[in-house]
């Protein structure tokens, strides 16, 4: 069984072919991701109109590349899955309309995938993880704790009440004139910085529940940055201090989330773009170990936006007989 996945929710144009296989190494037949960083870098962030036009320009060839790398034809596909939201509506619309066109021409099943479910089920693709498990989904636009109970079955324990962690990284990076994308750039600079140099808050520390907040942390960093002329070392120190504050906040909130689970968990998973940060992984690994949980993070290439995770959700849903009709409308907001 082979499924084509299409991902166009933000600034990556991606297509992937996955197959139903017990061998983890052979599940992903192709995973093509075209980053639009060069198009958006002059603006310091993603410009929705530019992203949508780039998807429209590149998507057809990206799908062809995915098929060629997988040595698969369109006719050999069993279903077509596409990100139906949440995301920048122009980009989501491009992907959904491409998928619908293929489905109509090929008479194949159509599956609209929640982008967040793609991140949530990635550890089942990469590690064959069984339900249930506790998940921290942390990316540029989302940050929440979830009990993953089954395909399409989730219980949200807590979420950000303002900014997501990745968004906070990007905004603070922009304040220091660090090149876009800010998160990875700040992680690189933090390696030469002093993480104890700047006194930054740990938002919601000690509060009940596991909601998250990063707006106040971002504001505190802005105040310190604007108080002085930032040298290269000052910038590295701020990157390290801010990264440590994010990591410690996530770790502390994770400890609360573990205590809130409704069923006994054996695994704690972090996924999404922020999961690529090695310092954050280190802190979350320690929290998992202290609570007798096995820590899992997908491979770095599957943490950031990609189409393999979308194809995998499509495969899981198709096996359960869950498909969508062509009346599906793209969703800029779509809670998991």
**Whether the Cβ atoms of residue 1 and residue 19 lie closer than 8 Å to each other:** yes
Percent of the chain at pLDDT > 90 equals 90
Give the pLDDT confidence score for residue 179 in this predicted structure: 84
Give the pLDDT confidence score for residue 37 in this predicted structure: 83
Mean pLDDT over all residues of the chain?
96
Q: How confident is the model at residue 53 (pLDDT cuts 50, 70, 90)?
A: very high
Classify domain 2-120+302-319 at the CATH topology level: Nucleotidyltransferase; domain 5 (3.30.420)
Which residues touch 124 (CB under 8 Å, ≥6 apart)? 312, 316
Closest CA relative to residue 110, chosen from 330, 331, 326 = 326
Percent of the chain at pLDDT > 70 equals 100
Give the pLDDT confidence score for residue 69 in this predicted structure: 98
**Whether the Cβ atoms of residue 148 and residue 336 lie closer than 8 Å to each other:** no
Closest CA relative to residue 324, chosen from 113, 91, 150 = 113
Half-sphere exposure of 261 (CA within 13 A, CB side): 24
**Whether the Cβ atoms of residue 28 and residue 298 lie closer than 8 Å to each other:** no
Give the pLDDT confidence score for residue 43 in this predicted structure: 85
* Architecture per CATH, 129-299: 2-Layer Sandwich (3.30)
Instruction: Give the angle 186-192-193 at the CA atoms, nearest 5°.
Output: 75
Q: Quick check: do 2-120+302-319 and 129-299 share a fold?
A: yes
Position 48 pLDDT exceeds 90? yes
Provide DSSP, 189-203: HHTTS-TTSS----T
Give the pLDDT confidence score for residue 265 in this predicted structure: 94
Phi, psi of 123 (to 5 degrees): -65, -20
Q: How confident is the model at residue 269 (pLDDT cuts 50, 70, 90)?
A: very high
Burial class (CB in 10 A: 0-12, 13-18, 19+), 261: middle
E-state strands within the chain: 2-7, 12-19, 28-35, 79-85, 110-114, 133-138, 143-150, 153-159, 267-271, 294-296
Position 51 pLDDT exceeds 90? yes
Give the pLDDT confidence score for residue 173 in this predicted structure: 95
Mean of the pLDDT values across residues 250-273?
A: 95
Position 336 pLDDT exceeds 90? no
Structure tokens at 63: 């799908």
For 168-201, write each residue's pLDDT tens digit: 999 999 999 998 888 999 999 999 999 999 999 9
Name the maximum alpha-carbon separation found in the chain.
62
Phi, psi of 30 (to 5 degrees): -160, 150
Peptide bond into 181 cis (omega under 30): yes
Closest CA relative to residue 113, chosen from 299, 297, 315, 302 = 315
Task: List 154's β-bridge partners, or say none.
Answer: 148
Give the pLDDT confidence score for residue 331 in this predicted structure: 97
Peptide bond into 128 cis (omega under 30): no
Closest CA relative to residue 30, chosen from 71, 77, 82 = 71
Domain boundaries, the chain: 2-120+302-319, 129-299
Q: How confident is the model at residue 38 (pLDDT cuts 50, 70, 90)?
A: confident
The pTM of this model reads 0.95
Peptide bond into 86 cis (omega under 30): yes
């Amino acid at each position: 069984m082979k499924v084509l996945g299409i991902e166009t929710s933000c600034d990556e144009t991606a297509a992937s072919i996955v197959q139903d296989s017990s061998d983890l190494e052979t599940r992903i037949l192709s995973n093509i991701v075209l980053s639009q960083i060069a198009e958006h870098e002059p603006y310091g962030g993603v410009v929705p109109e530019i992203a949508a036009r780039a998807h429209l320009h590149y998507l057809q060839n990206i799908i062809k590349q995915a098929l060629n790398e997988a040595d698969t034809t369109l006719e050999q596909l069993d279903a077509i899955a596409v990100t139906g939201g949440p995301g920048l509506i122009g980009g989501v619309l491009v992907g959904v309309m491409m998928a619908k066109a293929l489905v109509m021409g090929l008479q194949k099943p159509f599956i609209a995938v929640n982008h967040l479910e793609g991140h949530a089920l990635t550890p089942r693709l990469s590690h064959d993880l069984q339900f249930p498990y506790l998940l921290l989904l942390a990316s540029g636009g989302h940050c929440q704790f979830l009990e993953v109970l089954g395909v399409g079955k989730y219980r949200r324990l807590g979420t950000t009440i303002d900014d997501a962690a990745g968004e906070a990284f990007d905004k603070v990076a922009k304040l220091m004139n660090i090149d876009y994308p800010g998160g990875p750039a700040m992680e690189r600079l933090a390696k030469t910085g002093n993480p104890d140099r700047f006194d930054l808050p740990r938002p919601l520390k000690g509060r009940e529940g596991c909601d998250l907040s990063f707006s106040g942390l971002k504001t505190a960093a802005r105040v310190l940055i604007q108080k002085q002329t930032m040298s290269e070392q000052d910038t590295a120190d701020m990157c390290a201090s801010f990264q440590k504050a994010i990591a410690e906040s996530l770790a502390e909130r994770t400890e609360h989330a573990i205590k809130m689970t409704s069923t006994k968990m054996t695994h704690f998973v972090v996924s999404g773009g922020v999961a690529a940060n090695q310092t954050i992984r280190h802190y979350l690994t320690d929290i998992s170990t202290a609570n007798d949980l096995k820590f899992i993070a997908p491979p770095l290439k599957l943490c950031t936006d990609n189409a393999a995770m979308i194809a995998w959700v499509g495969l899981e849903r198709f096996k359960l007989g869950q498909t969508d009709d062509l009346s599906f409308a793209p969703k800029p907001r779509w809670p998991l």
